Chain A
Amino acid sequence: MSAEGRHARRLTDRGTDSSTDGNEPRPDDGREDAEYERFLRPYAVDVGTAEAVPPTTAGTTGPADLDLLALVMAARTPGRHEWLRPERETILNHALRARTVAELAAEVGLPVGQVRVMVAEMVADGSLQRCGPSRPLGRQDILHAVLVGLRSL
């Protein structure tokens, strides 16, 4: 079994409305049945596209700049005017305090990749702001503080 050769599921098509009748998606020869135990729920979330976010220039944020621990915080109050895209309001509600991208993804229940794109867009449109620690510490200070903190758990 090669590392790349097996995949949980092959996505057959994007617009299957009419084509599914005559051409049902099915596993290739049933060979990989064991690997089909998991279905991928189709997403209907408008996350925009990575390309829609301008390439990173000074002061802007693209999805690639948002690592799992990138911190963002709501820059506006969640409102109702995004009712076609409720995920954004959910993100805002969870980001009233500074939150990492990983936490937002877990709380919103969407894959990190999608949340990254949404967050990048929301930073671009001013809904979210990226933020850094209030008191940035050097690595050595962090290590010592972590050690003390862990010991006192």
Chain B
Amino acid sequence: MASADSENRPGTQEAIPQAVKIIVAGGFGAGKTTMVASVSEITPLSTEEVMTEASQGVDDLGGVENKTTTTVALDFGRITINDDIVLYLFGTPGQDRFWFMWDELVEGALGAVVLADTRRLDTCFHAVDFFERRGVPFVVAVNRFEGAAVYETEEVREALDVSAGVPVVMADARERESSKEVLVALVTHIIDSRRPAMSG
């Protein structure tokens, strides 16, 4: 029996790569999905998480009628780094009320990109705050929107009040090359920031 299907026995022959992830965060409409799509080797995949929450302050004695559901879309892309590593890029759900999902998303992530929209800079305060408090390395990428005023990276840094050690880079999320540079800046930052902490 075992020998009968051993020929096309699923997936025993191929090397299994390690799956790692980088989070792309930012406010609603900051360009997260655009950035993921511009560097992903596949059309970004989308899945949903349906959250069921018991109504606030009510003991759940009645079953479903006391619960409400919320559907959160989760978009992600993929970059095959080499035979050993596949990098996944996860866009965070943009709306603030989906914060509860961030903890799981961020768990085990290499780091994060915070996409800033200079027209609505305040929409990424939460993301900056979140990663700072959890000690997740991140870079701020200022997504250039047409028609938006042009700011220097230092102005953005000051406005966001991020520490000098956090790279702030300009980006165009629609451009593959630009998005790639942002990711390179992030990974470089992660590598660099791990080193001096020891010798410091």
Report A's interface with B, CB cutoff 8 A: 3-14, 38, 40, 67-69, 71, 73-77, 92, 95-98, 100, 102-103, 105-107, 110-115, 131-137, 140, 142-151, 153
What per-residue 1/0 map shows which CB atoms of B1-24 lie under 8 Å from chain A?
Answer: 000010011110011111111000
The answer to whether A11 touches B85 (Cβ under 8 A) is no
B149 within 8 A of A: no
The answer to whether B108 touches A147 (Cβ under 8 A) is no
Q: Can you spell out 29 A-B residue pairs with CB atoms less than 8 angstroms apart?
A: A7-B53, A7-B70, A8-B69, A10-B68, A11-B68, A40-B69, A69-B20, A71-B19, A95-B10, A96-B10, A97-B14, A98-B14, A102-B74, A102-B88, A103-B78, A106-B46, A107-B45, A111-B71, A112-B48, A112-B49, A133-B18, A133-B19, A134-B15, A135-B15, A146-B20, A146-B187, A149-B80, A150-B87, A153-B180
What per-residue 1/0 map shows which CB atoms of B91-109 lie under 8 Å from chain A?
Answer: 0000011010000110110
What per-residue 1/0 map shows which CB atoms of B38-50 lie under 8 Å from chain A?
Answer: 0100000111111
A111-B50, A143-B190, A153-B180 given as contacts; is B16 within 8 A of A98 (CB)? Answer: yes
The answer to whether B49 touches A111 (Cβ under 8 A) is yes
* Total A-B pairs, Cβ < 8 A: 165
A115 contact set on B, CB distance < 8 A: 47
A97-B11, A131-B16 given as contacts; is B191 within 8 A of A143 (CB)? Answer: yes
A8-B69, A111-B47 given as contacts; is B19 within 8 A of A100 (CB)? Answer: yes
Report the Cα distance A17→B183, complex, angstroms.
Answer: 52
The answer to whether A9 touches B69 (Cβ under 8 A) is yes
Q: Which residues of B from 85 to 138 have beta carbons under 8 Å from A?
A: 85, 87-88, 90, 96-97, 99, 104-105, 107-108, 110
The answer to whether B70 touches A3 (Cβ under 8 A) is no
The answer to whether B15 touches A147 (Cβ under 8 A) is no
Report the Cα distance A147→B186, complex, angstroms.
Answer: 9
